[in-house]
Chain A
Amino acid sequence: MADAVGARKRARPGGHQLRPEVVAHHQRQRILAGAAAVFAERGYRQVTVADIVKSAAVARARFYENFASKEDCFFALYDSATEAALEATENGCEGQQGEFPDRVRAGLQALLANLESDPALARSWIVEGPAVGTAIDERFERLIGDFAVLLRRGRAGADETELPDTVEETVVGGLYWLLYYALLEGRPKRIGKLLPQLTEFALIPFVSTETARNAAASP
C-alpha cells in the first residue's frame, strides 16, 4: 500500500504525457490511500464517500468511476491490503532457510513490518473489517484460511503430533484478534514488539515449550 500512500501526492501539472491507464491507476491508488486514512481515523461506519473524496483530494465523479460505493471501495482496500500482508508473510518464511520455528518467526516478523509500514492501512483492514458486518464474512474466512495454509505448509514434516485439522486456523484466528486489540488500543507503532509473543503462540501447539520459547527469544 506504500504505492497508494505515495499516490496521495498530486501528479505534477503537465502530466498529460502519461498514458490514460497510468493516470487511472494513480487515481485509484490515491482514492484507496485517502480511504485508508479516514477509515482508520473515524471508523468504517462513520465514513461517507464525501469523506473519502476529501481525504483523497479527488472529484466525486472520479470516485464513482472507480467504485460503486463506500463498501466497494473498502473491499478493494481490504483485498489489496490482505494480499500484500499474506505475500509479505510468505516471502518472509521462504527467505528463511532454517527450521520450522525460524521460518514462523521470519514470517511473523515480515507481517509485522508490513503492518508497521502503514499503520492507517493496518487499522483499516484489521480493526474496521469486522465493523462492516456480515458482508465481510467470506473475506474474513478466506483470510484466516490463507494464513492457516501457510502455517500448515511450513510445519509439514516438522513433528509427528496428531492435532485436529483446524488447529492452524485457530492459531491464526488468535493472532488476528491479538493484533486487532493492539491496533484498537492505539499501539500501531509498538506492534513490532509483539514478535516474540506471537512467535511463541504460533509455535507452542506444534513444538515443545522450550523450542517455542527459544525461537521467540532469538535475536
Chain B
Amino acid sequence: MSGWPVAGAEVDAAARERGRILAAFVELVGECGLKEVTATATIARAGTAPGSFERHFADPEECFEVAWDGLEAAYLERLAAAYEGFDDWRERFRAASAATVRLAEAHPDWARFLTVASLAAGDNGRRRQRAIGRHLVALLDTAREQLDDPAAVPEVTGRWILGIFFDRFYRRFASPDGPDLVSQLPELRFLAVSCYFGTEAGLAEFGLQP
C-alpha cells in the first residue's frame, strides 16, 4: 500500500484512521473497480474497526471523491514544486514530466486510481479527469508564449500532448507488468517539444537524461 498523502507530521488518531481507510480504498478501487468496493472490504484491508468507514464517509462514492481530492492535491503540489523557478518552457516541462513519472512510479496505487480506475468509475471519475485535464492542458499551452507565431500550432496541441502521456500512464498501470515510464520520458518529451517548437528542437530531447 502506498499510504496516504498527509500534510504535516502530527495528525490525530481520527485522521490516521481516515488516511488508512483512504489508502486501502484507493488500492481496492485499482484492483477491482469502484463498483465492487464495499465499506466492509475497505476496513478489512485498512485494518480498522467495524463502523470506522461510516464514521468518515457516507458511502464509497463519497470516499471516491475525497480520495480523488487528496491525490489530485498531492500531485499538483509536487508538480508546481517541480516546475517553479524555471523561465524556459522546455525546462519547466522536463522538470514537471520527470516529477510526474517519479511520483507515479513511487505510488502505483495512486497512479492506477487516477488513470485506469477512474475511467471505469462512471461519470464522477470522468468528470474529475476532465477537470484536471483542462488544468494540465492550460499549463502545457503556456509554450505558446515563447512562440513567434502561436497560432501556427494546432489548437488542440496541449490536449494531444496530454493524450500521449495519458496513454503511456494508462498502459503502464492497466496491467502489473506495463512498460516502465522512466525509459519512455525522452520519447514523450521529443513528441511534445516537436509539436510546439519543431522536430529539430524535439530531437534534442533524446540527448538529455530522462
A105 to chain B, nearest CB (A): 14
Q: Is the CB of B194 within 8 A of A170?
A: no
**B154 within 8 Å of A by Cβ?**
yes
Q: What is the chain B residue whose CB lies nearest that of A206? A: B199
Mark interface residues in B143-176 (1 if CB within 8 Å of A CB, else 0): 0000000001011110111111011101100110
Mark interface residues in A147-183 (1 if CB within 8 Å of B CB, else 0): 0000000000000010110110011011111101100
Residue in B133, B164, B171, B199 whose beta carbon sits within 8 Å of that of A181 in the complex: B133
Query: For chain B residues 171-199, which have a beta carbon within 8 Å of chain A?
Result: 171, 174-175, 179, 184, 186-188, 190-191, 194-195, 198-199
**B122 within 8 Å of A by Cβ?**
yes
List of A residues within 8 angstroms of B164 by Cβ: 170-171, 173-174, 177
A166 to chain B, nearest CB (A): 6
Size band of the interface chain B makes with A = 35 or more
**B119 within 8 Å of A by Cβ?**
yes
Q: Which among A30-38, A52-60, A68-76, A197-205 touches the partner chain?
A: A197-205
Q: Is the CB of B170 within 8 A of A174?
A: no
Residue in A131, A178, A194, A200 whose beta carbon sits within 8 Å of that of B119 in the complex: A131
Docked pose: A201 CA to B170 CA in angstroms: 20
Docked pose: A12 CA to B116 CA in angstroms: 45
3 nearest CB pairs, A to B: A173-B167, A177-B163, A174-B164
Q: Beyond the given A208-B198, A212-B199, please list 16 additional residue pairs across the A-B interface where CB-CB is below 8 A.
A: A46-B122, A130-B119, A131-B120, A131-B122, A170-B167, A170-B191, A177-B162, A177-B164, A177-B166, A178-B156, A185-B130, A197-B160, A201-B160, A204-B191, A208-B199, A209-B198
Q: Is the CB of A209 within 8 A of B194?
A: yes
Q: Is the CB of B174 within 8 A of A134?
A: yes
Q: Is the CB of A166 within 8 A of B174?
A: no
Q: Is the CB of B133 within 8 A of A204?
A: no
**B16 within 8 Å of A by Cβ?**
no
List of A residues within 8 angstroms of B33 by Cβ: 133-134
Residue in B122, B159, B161 whose beta carbon sits within 8 Å of that of A43 in the complex: B122
Residue in A141, A173, A185, A208 whose beta carbon sits within 8 Å of that of B163 in the complex: A173
B-side residues, CB < 8 A to A, are: 33, 35, 116, 119-120, 122-123, 126, 130, 133, 152, 154-157, 159-164, 166-168, 170-171, 174-175, 179, 184, 186-188, 190-191, 194-195, 198-199, 202-203
Q: How many residues of A contact B (CB 8 A)?
A: 42
**A196 within 8 Å of B by Cβ?**
yes
Q: Is the CB of A201 within 8 A of B126?
A: no
Would you mind naming 13 contact pairs between A and B with Cβ atoms under 8 Å apart?
Answer: A46-B122, A134-B175, A163-B187, A164-B186, A166-B187, A167-B191, A175-B160, A176-B167, A200-B195, A204-B199, A207-B199, A209-B194, A216-B154
Docked pose: A191 CA to B184 CA in angstroms: 29
**A189 within 8 Å of B by Cβ?**
no
Counting residue pairs across A and B whose Cβ atoms lie within 8 Å, the total is 112
List of B residues within 8 angstroms of A194 by Cβ: 156
Residue in B120, B170, B194 whose beta carbon sits within 8 Å of that of A205 in the complex: B194
Q: Is the CB of A178 within 8 A of B188?
A: no
List of B residues within 8 angstroms of A208 by Cβ: 198-199
Answer whether A137 and B188 are a contact pair too, CB < 8 Å, given A174-B160, A196-B154: no
**A23 within 8 Å of B by Cβ?**
no
Docked pose: A177 CA to B170 CA in angstroms: 10
**A84 within 8 Å of B by Cβ?**
no
List of B residues within 8 angstroms of A200 by Cβ: 154, 195
Residue in A45, A163, A173, A204 whose beta carbon sits within 8 Å of that of B195 in the complex: A204
Docked pose: A152 CA to B33 CA in angstroms: 35
Q: Is the CB of B199 within 8 A of A205?
A: yes
Q: Is the CB of A130 within 8 A of B154?
A: no
Answer whether A140 and B174 are a contact pair too, CB < 8 Å, given A167-B187, A174-B191: yes
